[in-house]
Chain A
Amino acid sequence: MTFSVRTVPAPTAPAEPACDVTTRLGPVTLPNPVLTASGCAAAGRELDQFFDVTQLGAVVTKSIQLAARSGRPTPRMAETPSGMLNSIGLQGPGIDDFLAKDLSWLRERGARTVVSIAGSSVEDYATLARRLRRADGVTAIEVNISCPNVADRGLVFACDPVAAGDVVAAVRHETDAAVPVFAKLSPDVTDIVAVARACVEAGADGLSMINTLLGMALDLDTMRPVLAGVTGGLSGPAIRPVAVRCIWQVHAALPDVPIIGMGGVRSGLDALEMVLAGASAVSVGTAVFNDPGAPPRVLHELVVALAERGFDRLSDAVGFAHRGPA
């Protein structure tokens, strides 16, 4: 009886990329296009036990707010077919602790860092950006606008092009021109292109999409909602076609705006699909929960998939699917 058991961590970085995978996100060039997704990698430290986080294009942090937040009650998650619902409620340490403990760790580790920020007013976002301006080690800012706007009876910024633009303009105003600002869009809107356009007109260097879709599950024994927060954000492979559609529509309308694509990416082929639809980079989120080694694996598989299709450069593949018949 033989057992062929292979120990991981092993299948990580490609030895010699068969293709140039550097990617431009506005004023910044990343060595490769695979990132973590906000809220699915904390601030990189835990995943660094499984793979070298400096191998990634960048670590995208959990959305940071001004003050520490305890989040929502449990249960906070439910598994659904090829996906999950979460209602974490942005639990996190607040900007001071983040700068002192997390950002400094990422900087010393040598990782590129995209800091995700979240607030409940335009002023919150502006203050966060001002605090980040004085910090070292911020590669880019991702503005999580899927948050309730206190000034507008809790309407989510991302659902209103005007409010979304206001937030982006405030962050852009407070941020060094060398640091790109990405607005993270919600798919739960009638016209994602309108919100995308408003963000770009307000000064966004690029767009991240998609955040989770609002969903819900009932426990059929108790006959009540599974989540303590009643509704939650749906993520994972189940939402990938929605993400591809959003990337496609926005890239078609705004072909020069770099997009960080995300939503259900589990393999290099999934990442390739987003690149072909128009993404210049790809975040790996929920897949990390199943496979902590997913981000470097996705990168490796993406490099292979690009090479197999004859691409010498990632940038040639971005939006390739929009070109006429082959």
Chain B
Amino acid sequence: MSEATARPLQVRGEVLSTHRVGAYHHLVLVAPGVADQARPGQFVALALGGPDTNLVLRRAFSIYRVSTRGVYGGTVEIIYAARGAGTQWLARQVQHTRVDVVGPLGRPFAPPRDVASATLVGGGYGSAPLFALAEMLQARGCRVDFVLGAASSDRLFGALDAKRMGSIVAVTTDDGSAGTRGRVTDVLPAVIERAGTDVVYACGPMAMLRAVSVVADSYGIPAQCAVEESMACGIGVCMTCVLPVRGDDGITRMVRSCVEGPVFLGDRVRWDDVGTVPADALGAPR
């Protein structure tokens, strides 16, 4: 579904700046080489916790933006929520902290073959990778509209960027603290109808992706969804990050979201079966 990508790099990065945006943190990392190859929808895997850490696994983050020029020889930016031990450590770091970066990883969003009307749907920090995507799509002459949703206004990321770039920008929050009270899928049909959407791109929690897929399906348009599965390695060697996906041959396989994703066609993912091994999956227990 996506184009072939260059091989990932492992680089010793360094924190250039970090600041808060609402409930999230915006981190700029010096990561030479990674920026040059990165495409919208790809992610980086960071080793967090410092040299003597007891955290043995990397953490995956969508690439928000990159800059390939400038004195730092390439920077990569992410938007993250400080949750557990690794991200809380990251939130305490200041300029110059070293962070080992592996990336860019995964398959990016695939641009439409022809000029198209694209609706970009983001939930929480899931909107982060959509702005670089919007730029790429607009450079190809595509129309871009946004639907952004979050639990509350402090978890809404990038509404201003969206207003600058998008034709229509629809915002929803669960608590009504910004935009329409409700879910992204409450307003998505109206946007699709007004924009004459040809393709939906989505990134956010699994439940949102599932609902967005259903809406896109009902309009007969494809949805490219960037999923977030728990990952131990991010590079395809451990098999922790699998979910059931139907292949071109109609057969369901447990595929690795880190290398075959994170972007999947919504109608290929068996959303209702995520977290299980469907009985008809290849190699399922008999």
What CA separation (Å) do A39 and B8 show in the bound complex? 21
Is A74's CB under 8 angstroms from B283's CB?
no
Is B177 on the interface with A (CB-CB < 8 A)?
Answer: no
What CA separation (Å) do A144 and B26 show in the bound complex? 45
Partner of A236, one of B7, B56, B239, B276: B56
Is B238's CB under 8 angstroms from A5's CB?
no
Q: Mark B118-140, 1 if CB is under 8 A from A, else 0.
A: 00000000000000000000000
Complex interface: chain B residues within 8 A of A7 (CB): 9, 11-12, 32-33
Is B55's CB under 8 angstroms from A70's CB?
no
For chain B, residues 41 to 84, give those with C-beta under 8 angstroms from any C-beta of chain A. Answer: 47, 54-58, 72-73
For chain A, residues 163 to 179, give those with C-beta under 8 angstroms from any C-beta of chain B. Answer: none
Is B145 on the interface with A (CB-CB < 8 A)?
Answer: no
User: Which stretch (A75-83, A149-157, A299-307) binds chain B?
Assistant: A75-83
Partner of A74, one of B54, B58, B275, B284: B275
For chain A, residues 1 to 17, give those with C-beta under 8 angstroms from any C-beta of chain B. Answer: 3, 5-9
User: Which stretch (B108-116, B161-169, B227-235, B260-268) binds chain A?
Assistant: B227-235
For chain B, residues 216 to 259, give those with C-beta under 8 angstroms from any C-beta of chain A. Answer: 229-230, 232-233, 235-243, 253-254, 259
How many contacts between A and B, using CB within 8 angstroms? 135
Chain A residues within 8 Å of chain B by Cβ, number:
46
Is A42's CB under 8 angstroms from B237's CB?
yes
Secondary structure at the A interface, as helix, strand, loop or mixed, is: loop
Complex interface: chain A residues within 8 A of B13 (CB): 5
Complex interface: chain B residues within 8 A of A77 (CB): 57, 230, 232, 238, 240
Residues of B within 8 A of A (CB): 7-14, 30, 32-33, 47, 54-58, 72-73, 100, 102, 229-230, 232-233, 235-243, 253-254, 259, 274-277, 281-285
25 contacts between A and B (CB under 8 A): A3-B14, A7-B9, A7-B12, A7-B32, A7-B33, A41-B237, A42-B236, A73-B276, A74-B229, A74-B230, A74-B240, A74-B241, A75-B230, A76-B230, A76-B239, A77-B230, A82-B54, A83-B56, A84-B56, A84-B232, A86-B240, A91-B283, A289-B237, A291-B10, A293-B10
